[in-house]
């Protein structure tokens, strides 16, 4: 059993959620480290020496092209083999917001064909603008290791903040496989827990998909930000009472528990 869980939080110019991701892992009891992509590229740091990999949100390389595209392209050209090994060894990999976009660009999500090809995109929101709001989400945990600490069917609230978050699968087949395999683990719902339109689904995502896990359950891409709600006091409605603890907290607890038990 491993006591010290080492987490690599990958940064490059324009990533900007690394601080809250770092704090969330730290406050979960892990040993996080921010690693500039450059250091993986030049070999100063090795992916294989970490237990968990996290892709933070932000605007990698400014997102002036397609969100996440530049970061993914840089990784594909130099680090794809290391990344595939990391994923295939079963270690947890998570990306939120821009990190989700990067995971999709890398072909790690949804990867229904298991060829790490581009099977989906996170397209501009239907409102055609940046959306920052709290959303209701339904957890369908499947065997996604990040969700092991939730009840199946649980409704949670997390913030979103993005302009490109509309999950669009490449074709119907990809969507069918996602649904059939139970990979659509986090979905936008309304306050009653039912599927609904904008603004409950803030970006127009196909099938209200907010987060997708790979079939093996160790790679999670999610548009909302669990790392921003580690404690109750950053839930947007905490002053109204209730709330047991930050709703993003179980994501980290789940990943940590898994790493401690498995390694």
Partner 1 sequence: MIEKGALNEVPMFGKRSEELSHISERMHLGLSVEEMSRMQVYFENEGRNPSDVEVQAIAQAWSEHCSYKSSKIHLKKYIFGIGKEKVVAEGDAGLVSLDDETAIAFKMESHNHPSAIEPYGGAATGVGGILRDIVSMGAQPIAVTDVLYFGTKKIKGFPSPKFIEGGVIAGIRDYGNRVGIPTVSGGIVYSEFFSPNVLVNVGCVGVVEKKRIRSSAISKPGIKLIIAGGKTGRDGIHGVNMASAVMESGEEDISTVQLGSPITKEPLIHAVLEANERGLVYALKDLGGGGLSSVVGEMLQSGGMGGRVLLDRVPLKESNMKPWEIWISESQERMLLAVEEEKVGEVLEIMEDWDITAEVIGESEEGKRLRIFFAGERVLDLDTDFMTSPVLYERPSSIKERRIVQVLPKNPTDFGKILMGMISDKNVRTREYVVRQYDHTVRGSTVIGPFTGIVGREGPSDASVIRPDWNKESGVAITHGSNPFYSQIDPYMGGKAAVDETVRNLISVGAEPLGFSDCLNSGNPEKPEIMGEFIEMLKGLHESAYDLNLPFVSGNVSFYNEAGKRRIPTFPTILGVGKVDTISNAISPDFKGTDRSIYLVGIPTTDMGGSLYYRRLKIDGGRVPYSDPKTLKRRGWNLLRAIRSGKVSSVHDISEGGIATAISEMTIGSGIGALLDLSPLGLRADFAMFSEPQSGWIVEVKKDREREFEEILGEDSMYLGQTQEGSFEVVRGEEKLVSVGLDLILRNWKRGYL
Among candidate residues 88, 103, 117, 91, the one with its CA nearest the CA of residue 56? 103
Choose, by CB under 8 A, the member of 61, 87, 210, 255 that binds partner 1.
61
Choose, by CB under 8 A, the member of 153, 199, 261, 263 that binds partner 1.
199
- 97, 131, 149, 162: the catalytic one is 97
Q: Give the Cα separation of 113 and 132 in Å (integer).
A: 33
Question: Which of helix, strand or coil describes residue 157?
Answer: strand
Choose, by CB under 8 A, the member of 161, 206, 243, 262 that binds partner 1.
161
Exposed, middle or buried: residue 240 (CB in 10 Å: 0-12, 13-18, 19+)? exposed
- Radius of gyration from C-alpha coordinates of the chain: 17
Cβ-based nearer residue to partner 1, 79 or 161: 161
Contacts with partner 1 in 231-260 (CB under 8 A)? 231, 233-234, 236-241
Respond yes or no: is residue 85 known to be catalytic. no
Contact map string, positions 110 to 139, toward partner 1, x by CB under 8 A: -------------------xxxxxxxx---
Among candidate residues 205, 217, 120, 110, the one with its CA nearest the CA of residue 162? 205
Cβ-based nearer residue to partner 1, 26 or 215: 26
Respond yes or no: is residue 97 known to be catalytic. yes
Among candidate residues 140, 139, 138, the one with its CA nearest the CA of residue 194? 138
Number of residues that bind partner 1 (CB under 8 A): 47
- List b or e across 164-179, with b for residues whose CB sees 16 or more CB atoms inside 10 angstroms: bbbbebeeeebbebbe
Respond yes or no: is residue 41 known to be catalytic. no
Q: Which residues are catalytic?
A: 97, 225, 227
Note the residues at the interface with partner 1 (CB under 8 A): 13-14, 16-17, 19-20, 23-24, 27, 36, 38-39, 57-59, 61-63, 129-136, 157, 159, 161, 190-191, 199-200, 225, 227-231, 233-234, 236-241
């Amino acid at each position: 059993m491993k006591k010290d869980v080492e987490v690599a939080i990958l940064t490059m110019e324009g990533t900007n959620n690394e601080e809250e991701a770092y704090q969330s892992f730290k406050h979960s009891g892990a040993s996080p480290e921010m690693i500039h992509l450059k250091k993986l590229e030049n070999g100063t740091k090795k992916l294989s020496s970490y237990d968990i990999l996290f892709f933070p949100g932000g605007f990698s390389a400014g997102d002036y092209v397609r969100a996440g595209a530049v970061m993914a392209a840089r990784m594909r050209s130099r680090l794809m083999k290391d990344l595939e090994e990391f994923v295939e060894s079963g270690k947890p990999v998570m990306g939120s917001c821009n990190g989700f976009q990067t995971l999709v660009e890398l072909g790690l999500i949804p990867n229904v064909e298991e060829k790490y090809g581009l099977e989906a995109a996170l397209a501009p929101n239907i409102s055609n603008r940046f959306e920052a709001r709290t959303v209701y989400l339904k957890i369908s945990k499947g065997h996604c290791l990040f969700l092991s600490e939730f009840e199946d069917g649980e409704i949670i609230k997390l913030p979103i903040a993005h302009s490109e978050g509309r999950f669009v699968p490449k074709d119907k087949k990809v969507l069918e496989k996602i649904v059939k395999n139970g990979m659509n683990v986090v979905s936008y719902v309304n306050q009653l827990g039912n599927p609904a339109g904008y603004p409950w689904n803030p970006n127009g995502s196909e099938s209200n998909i907010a987060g997708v896990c790979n079939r093996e359950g160790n790679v999670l891409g999610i548009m909302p930000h669990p790392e921003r709600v580690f404690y109750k006091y950053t839930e947007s409605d905490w002053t109204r009472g209730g709330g047991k603890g930050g709703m993003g907290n179980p994501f980290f607890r789940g990943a940590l528990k898994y790493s401690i038990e498995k390694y």
